[in-house]
Structure 1
Amino acid sequence: MSKVTEIFGSYVFNDSVMKDRLPKATYKALKKTIQEGTSLSPEVADVVASAMKDWAVENGATHFTHWFQPLTGITAEKHDSFISPTSDGKVILEFSGKELIKGEPDASSFPSGGLRATFEARGYTAWDCTSPAFLKDGSLCIPTAFCSYNGEALDKKTPLLRSMEALSKQALRVLRALGNTTTQRVITTVGPEQEYFLIDKKMYDARKDLIFTGRTLFGAKPSKGQELEDHYFGTIKERVSEFMKEVDEELWKLGISAKTKHNEVAPAQHELAPIFTTTNIATDHNQLTMEVMKKVALRHDLYCLLHEKPFAGVNGSGKHNNWSMGTDDGVNLLEPGKSPHENQQFLLFLCAVIEAVDEYADLLRMSAANAGNDHRLGANEAPPAIISIFLGDQLTDILEQIENGPATSSKSSSKLTIGVNTLPALPKDATDRNRTSPFAFTGNKFEFRMVPSSASIAACNFTLNTIVAEVLSGIADRLEKASDLDAEIQTILNEIVKSHKRIIFNGNGYSDEWVAEAEKRGLPNIKSTVEATKSLIAEKNLAVMEKHGVLSRVEMESRYEIMLENYNKTINIEALTTLEIAKRQILPAVIKFATSLAGSINTINATGISVDLSAQTELLTEVSTLTSSLKKKIAVLEEAVAKADNFEGDAYELGMIYRFEVFEKMNELREDADKLETIVDSEFWPLPTYGDMLFNV
């Protein structure tokens, strides 16, 4: 491996490169745009473009592309070379400020939810100078926002950037009211932990369900799974370790601070976590991380599975979104300090988050919804579909004091002695952690654990930014008018705690008792993506997004249509794949096995020897019975798919058919197939099993 300090950021047109290559005036103008949001003049853009092109070409680039994040959830790029023909039949390398700032991809070929018709093709990509350009596969990649001809957001980045501005604006109002006159911006930061599975590429290639859907649609539970808890943090296998080393190196070149790597709970499951950075850049980096992991896996004859539940009955994968707020002068607004009960600033921002999460729980749940996550939420190592907040003993105690009067004390941390003289006394945190909570306070940040492993983190973060901005707006209104600031702060804190304490839960989020308790508290339990989509068009949620300029009503409604369309298409693809595998692989295989079994019975009978054939006949009866049932359930699933295909109602009603009819029929068919897998000779079974895939890397 190359020296980390030398390769880190070597593929990035970062601040250090800009400072070296740009004239001082140009550098200052660009930095002002990045830090203060001022407009960039065409003259400055031309100088930046020229320097960027020279740097890229020196590092082997021949093309440039506007790299953007459409509503497919993945990234998109259209590559153009730097060459420009000359009159003498040769070429020169050119790249203008106009090409840097603006691109024109086809807006009608990406999901738009009705914002763009097929014949309305024009769309624009706009340079996001707050996220540095980088090199990838011989091209200069320029992070951009993507919008329609009329300016509507057609991507994940635009609302994220809008939400960051909205939160900064409202947070600054609160800080100003508290007497802070120096802070110029409030920044949200994120560190997304990425979970994934690695399986052998040959086994992936032998499973059409993994190829077409990203998850196994069939598969019996292996003899050994994760029950011994021996994989989590275990010794990393050599083949996986080599993969991880190369991933780290590739990410470091891209300026992505990959920090932590380890085995996760399930066999063949792993995790990568970076160091925190601003939300916009963290989102870009996470998209690149997923891409790099997939590419590098192939070089090692592996396949990286990012689906939330690639294996039924096995720990699912998520993306823990560690979110916080800080000032441009280095203050973490969610840092409790040594005496959090006295820290008014911290308590105001903490309570703003509590109120926001309670008031907009449905919208936050929607931000973590997709078809894959429906399998995961509430299962192994994943939070339930109910939004709640874990605060821990110290902060919960402070809020209880606030509810009954001013808080006067904070439970302090202590030293943990282990009972061995040679081991040091360890500083003990003031509160424990809770892995069952979907939204947990973890010291100076909140960990939103519901986010799907395959999804962009943009949606959950622009949702968080916006709803917190809304609550901060209300707090600022009151503080700005207060004649007695301290008294008003105490009143605000008291009101928030009393009105929103129902969202605070420090217990076991996996338990049935919590589901019942949450229902008593009136907390929503939105179990499926289809049902969650309604939050996108709820009046309260439309209003908050529109008020802060993050998404207009039209943009919200378009996302409602896109989410439903994506869900319906996903389940339809899964159903068709289920049918194809069942009809063309599993059914012929079990018939061959049954025929072989019947042949062996007939052969033995033909000898005339009187022997006990009950084992063979019972097995043949069991296989034949399950095969008959499987065939009937194939027909039932085909009818359900046909019903969905011919349905003429709206997308939500169609989604309910896919979720509660087609999807359920798929599971019923799978039950018979998985039972057959456990009794059919492995020589006949057409698919790599869970045991094959999970333990052969």
Structure 2
Amino acid sequence: MSTFRFQALKETAGRKPVKVQELDKKSIIFGSNVFNDKAMRQFLTPEAYKAVQSAVQHGTKIDRKLADYIAMGMKEWSLSKGVTHYTHWFQPLTGTTAEKHDAFFETSFDGTDPVEKFGGSQLVQQEPDASSFPNGGIRNTFEARGYTAWDPTSPAFIFGTTLCIPTVFISYTGEALDYKTPLLRALTAVDEAAVAVCNYFDKNVKKVTATLGWEQEYFLVDSALANSRPDITLTGRTLLGHSSAKGQQLDDHYFGSIPTRALNYMRDLENECMLLGIPVKTRHNEVAPNQFELAPIFEEANLAVDHNSLLMDVMQKVGERHYFKVLLHEKPFAGVNGSGKHNNWSMATDTGVNLLGPGKTPMSNLQFLTFFINTIKAVYTNEELMRASIATASNDHRLGANEAPPAIISVFIGEQLTKVLAELEGVSTGKLSPEEKTDLKLNVVGKIPDVLLDNTDRNRTSPFAFTGNKFEFRAVGSSANCANAMTIVNSIMAKQLRDFKKEVDALIDGKEMKKDDAIFNVLREYIKETKAILFEGDGYSEAWAEEAAKRGLSNHKTTPGALKAKISEKSLALFQELGVMNHTEAEARYEIELEEYAKKIQIEGRVLGDIARNHVIPTAIRYQNILIENVTGLKEIFGDEYTSIGKEQINIIREISGHIAGINTQVEQMTEARKTANALTTAEELAHAYCDTVKPYFDVIRRHCDKLELIVDDEAWPLTKYRELLFTR
């Protein structure tokens, strides 16, 4: 066994469970490190408190003088908890979070009179160096100026000894350079559009909030074992490695008893989440060995996105305490399930109504149907944009490789609701007679709650499924920033609701239809139009791929092809109309995501070539030399008889030579393909070249390496194997 692998396994074998500090009840410690409503009431003046609440609830601007009072209260609260620094915490287009820490500590010009200082100007705005963040051509490299601006709708929090202030990140010229800014704009748009439609049913509705409950899947691998694998260290996944004899085929890990070491990690993680106000509730084993999931209670979408981004940071830091490497890659191991981040999305009114949940009266159920059918219509109209919103190099391993869910966007609503829509489709055109309206409301609309009680089946292969009182966007990748998908979902819903209201109002004004008649007429037409997007069957099957093509649905299996939808005329017009992104911002994101795709494939190609040539081939040659010595010795002992006696060894030597030659040839060709791709001048050409001409070599090189893993003496193999990575606990 290689020294490195032996040391890693030895270190892992000596691990002892890390003792987790017992804290008070979760309900007591929840949000203790958050500048939440309780903290604001204690540390802010009444005027300052009202200013923050008005900004959160109504989007009003905070006066700079009041900002000074807010900053003062925030500082005093932080200092009372031992905080020494503050940072504007933001989400640049790298997909991770960013922060620059400044101390509260300041002195006078001559170095005397030390004091802890933090004013409104530091709270509201800062100017971090923006030169090295992805910008897609929005700004020049030599123009480093970018601004972070406080987002009062997401409360500040303490992590370690640092006060973290959630902010947006924009360029000097005002364009968004982050994920949060377009999301906030999309949430504003869907709020306004949904309120206008809600007022058909309840004039008291003044605000609609998009809600999100994410489910985070992840793998836990012992840190020593992970560090022994250059591919995990540099790419987050294993680029080679033969599957373990036992994988997930027995389904014995899924929802099984949580291993002690993993449970200690989860308890520690939950403690940190409680302090930070992240309302995690569910934990369990997932399908693959050493794969797990946690999920929170639903929250307002912007806050939920911030909490998930924060969680991914916290997961890694807590993992270090427990000697775990947390893998958030969508497909870290071949042959077992990858990881997703299911985004459960809905909308709620300020009157306490879930718009995707049925009510107790026909009118409330008609409201439910209105938002339910409009959601289906929004997805149908923008299915390519939905696919683009979750397109990444890592997520392609799930979406394009017959793993949940497929790359074809469809909507699952269940058999019972399909029947309800069929009945609605059959209503007569134009004005309904009193008898028709009564029958419809009592026998179709009125029975929806009863229908949903029995509609408990889930289709795990559906990328966008209705699950009783929400839609679950199952296609989002485990490492993704939720904001990308949520910006699209809320944008297309805002656009659809605007269009719906225009159509209904036109029928009311033009044909003197009553409101209910107009709504039923528009919904009936939507049901007819959107049948192609509804699918209840097996999303993995070839038959579905063929059927989807007949229905006119897209099937973009790779990121470069999928991303194009983000800059289509229709998408650009949608973003512009809603004020979510202007053309420059949308095109910049397209450029950035293409560049990121190419860079990730480039890194993986380099790492794979390095491991194959510097680890696998030398090991194979050393083992081959042992066999050659064995055959030579047999010849000396048995003379002419050695040919038949050493036949199997000779065949193994030949097989090893074939795989070594295959690796060398393929790595050389892959390197040349990279050089050719790197000479291309546009991000679009580069991404397609890496996708079409570089990435195909990965599987071929891996196949040769994995075959050698089965041949070479286990004691000599340099890389920690799947059975060790997946079953060491």
TM-score using structure 1 length: 0.96
- Residue type of the alignment partner of 2:151: D
Alignment equivalent of 1:2, drawn from 3, 18, 23: 23
Alignment equivalent of 2:283, drawn from 261, 269, 272: 261
Conserved 8 A contact 1:262-1:271: yes
Alignment equivalent of 2:675, drawn from 642, 664, 688: 642
The answer to whether 1:659 aligns with 2:691 is yes
Alignment equivalent of 2:263, drawn from 241, 247, 252: 241
Alignment equivalent of 1:633, drawn from 653, 661, 666: 666
Q: Equivalent residue of 2:231, what SS?
A: helix
Conserved 8 A contact 1:30-1:44: no
| Aligned 1:309-324 pairs, distance under 5 A | 309-324=331-346
Conserved 8 A contact 1:49-1:96: yes
**What's the offset of the Cα at 1:289?**
0.9
What corresponds to 1:504 in structure 2? 534
CA distance in 1, matches of 2:353, 2:201: 15
Describe the shift of the 1:413–1:462 C-alpha distance in structure 2 as closer, same or farther (beyond 3 A). closer
**What's the offset of the Cα at 1:381?**
5.2
What corresponds to 1:522 in structure 2? 552
**What's the offset of the Cα at 1:341?**
9.4
| Aligned 1:413-428 pairs, distance under 5 A | none
Q: Equivalent residue of 2:719, what SS?
A: coil
Alignment equivalent of 1:133, drawn from 146, 156, 160: 156
CA distance in 1, matches of 2:720, 2:363: 57
- Kindly provide the CA deviation profile for residues 332-378 of structure 1, in whole angstroms up to 9, marking residues without a partner as x: 00002357797221111111111110111111111111000111115
- Kindly provide the CA deviation profile for residues 502-534 of structure 1, in whole angstroms up to 9, marking residues without a partner as x: 101111111111111111111111111110111
What corresponds to 2:12 in structure 1? none
**What's the offset of the Cα at 1:6?**
2.6
What corresponds to 1:578 in structure 2? 608
Conserved 8 A contact 1:67-1:75: yes
Q: Equivalent residue of 1:405, what SS?
A: coil
The answer to whether 1:454 aligns with 2:479 is yes
CA distance in 2, matches of 1:312, 1:503: 30
CA distance in 2, matches of 1:631, 1:109: 36
**What's the offset of the Cα at 1:242?**
0.6
| Aligned 1:538-617 pairs, distance under 5 A | 538-608=568-638, 610=641, 612-617=645-650
CA distance in 2, matches of 1:130, 1:245: 29
CA distance in 2, matches of 1:430, 1:452: 27
| Aligned 1:140-219 pairs, distance under 5 A | 140-176=163-199, 178-219=200-241
CA distance in 1, matches of 2:313, 2:341: 15
**What's the offset of the Cα at 1:428?**
5.5
**What's the offset of the Cα at 1:317?**
0.3
TM-score using structure 2 length: 0.92
Conserved 8 A contact 1:340-1:347: no
CA distance in 1, matches of 2:96, 2:504: 42
- Kindly provide the CA deviation profile for residues 479-514 of structure 1, in whole angstroms up to 9, marking residues without a partner as x: 334132111111110110111111011111111111
**What's the offset of the Cα at 1:661?**
1.1
CA distance in 1, matches of 2:360, 2:634: 82
CA distance in 2, matches of 1:307, 1:399: 39
Describe the shift of the 1:179–1:244 C-alpha distance in structure 2 as closer, same or farther (beyond 3 A). closer
* Farther-moved stretch of structure 1 (609-618 vs 676-685): 609-618
Please give the root-mean-square deviation of Cα atoms over the aligned residues, in Å: 1.7
Describe the shift of the 1:80–1:263 C-alpha distance in structure 2 as closer, same or farther (beyond 3 A). same
What corresponds to 1:472 in structure 2? 497
- Residue type of the alignment partner of 1:581: I
Q: Equivalent residue of 1:317, what SS?
A: coil
Conserved 8 A contact 1:339-1:409: no
- Residue type of the alignment partner of 2:595: E
Describe the shift of the 1:430–1:376 C-alpha distance in structure 2 as closer, same or farther (beyond 3 A). closer
Conserved 8 A contact 1:315-1:380: no
Conserved 8 A contact 2:677-2:690: yes
* Farther-moved stretch of structure 1 (481-490 vs 369-378): 481-490
What corresponds to 1:31 in structure 2? 53
Q: Equivalent residue of 1:607, what SS?
A: helix
Describe the shift of the 1:307–1:88 C-alpha distance in structure 2 as closer, same or farther (beyond 3 A). closer
- Kindly provide the CA deviation profile for residues 196-217 of structure 1, in whole angstroms up to 9, marking residues without a partner as x: 0011111111111111111111
CA distance in 1, matches of 2:449, 2:591: 49
Alignment equivalent of 1:306, drawn from 313, 325, 328: 328
Alignment equivalent of 2:710, drawn from 662, 671, 678: 678
What corresponds to 1:110 in structure 2? 133
- Residue type of the alignment partner of 1:437: S
* Farther-moved stretch of structure 1 (180-189 vs 605-614): 605-614
CA distance in 2, matches of 1:367, 1:546: 17
What corresponds to 2:15 in structure 1? none
Conserved 8 A contact 1:22-1:47: yes
**What's the offset of the Cα at 1:438?**
0.4
What corresponds to 1:370 in structure 2? 392
CA distance in 2, matches of 1:339, 1:221: 55
What corresponds to 2:722 in structure 1? 690
CA distance in 1, matches of 2:709, 2:218: 26
- Kindly provide the CA deviation profile for residues 629-688 of structure 1, in whole angstroms up to 9, marking residues without a partner as x: 22211221122122112x234221221111111000121111111111111111221111
Conserved 8 A contact 2:86-2:101: yes
The answer to whether 1:42 aligns with 2:64 is yes
CA distance in 2, matches of 1:632, 1:250: 50
Conserved 8 A contact 1:196-1:453: yes
CA distance in 1, matches of 2:132, 2:651: 56
**What's the offset of the Cα at 1:181?**
2.1
Which runs of at least 4 in structure 1 moved beyond 4 Å after TM superposition?
338-342, 378-381, 410-415
- Residue type of the alignment partner of 2:590: Y
Q: Equivalent residue of 2:695, what SS?
A: helix
The answer to whether 1:221 aligns with 2:211 is no
Q: Equivalent residue of 1:109, what SS?
A: coil
5+ residue gaps, structure 1: 416-426
5+ residue gaps, structure 2: 1-21, 429-439
- Residue type of the alignment partner of 1:468: M
Conserved 8 A contact 2:504-2:522: no
Conserved 8 A contact 2:43-2:76: no
The answer to whether 1:409 aligns with 2:444 is yes
CA distance in 2, matches of 1:540, 1:108: 32
- Residue type of the alignment partner of 1:288: L
**What's the offset of the Cα at 1:695?**
0.4
Conserved 8 A contact 1:167-1:469: yes
**What's the offset of the Cα at 1:608?**
3.6
CA distance in 2, matches of 1:673, 1:339: 64
- Residue type of the alignment partner of 2:677: A
Describe the shift of the 1:345–1:642 C-alpha distance in structure 2 as closer, same or farther (beyond 3 A). same
What corresponds to 1:97 in structure 2? 120
Conserved 8 A contact 1:413-1:429: no
**What's the offset of the Cα at 1:440?**
0.2
**What's the offset of the Cα at 1:414?**
7.6
CA distance in 1, matches of 2:113, 2:173: 39
- Kindly provide the CA deviation profile for residues 421-470 of structure 1, in whole angstroms up to 9, marking residues without a partner as x: xxxxxx96334111111000001100000001001000110101110000
**Matched residues, number:** 684
| Aligned 1:46-61 pairs, distance under 5 A | 46-61=68-83
What corresponds to 1:440 in structure 2? 465
CA distance in 1, matches of 2:352, 2:84: 39
Conserved 8 A contact 2:400-2:557: no
CA distance in 1, matches of 2:81, 2:541: 55
**What's the offset of the Cα at 1:478?**
2.9
Q: Equivalent residue of 1:108, what SS?
A: coil
Q: Equivalent residue of 2:97, what SS?
A: coil
**What's the offset of the Cα at 1:412?**
6.7
**What's the offset of the Cα at 1:261?**
0.5
What corresponds to 1:352 in structure 2? 374
CA distance in 2, matches of 1:504, 1:580: 46
Describe the shift of the 1:620–1:338 C-alpha distance in structure 2 as closer, same or farther (beyond 3 A). farther
Conserved 8 A contact 1:341-1:398: no
- Residue type of the alignment partner of 1:171: A
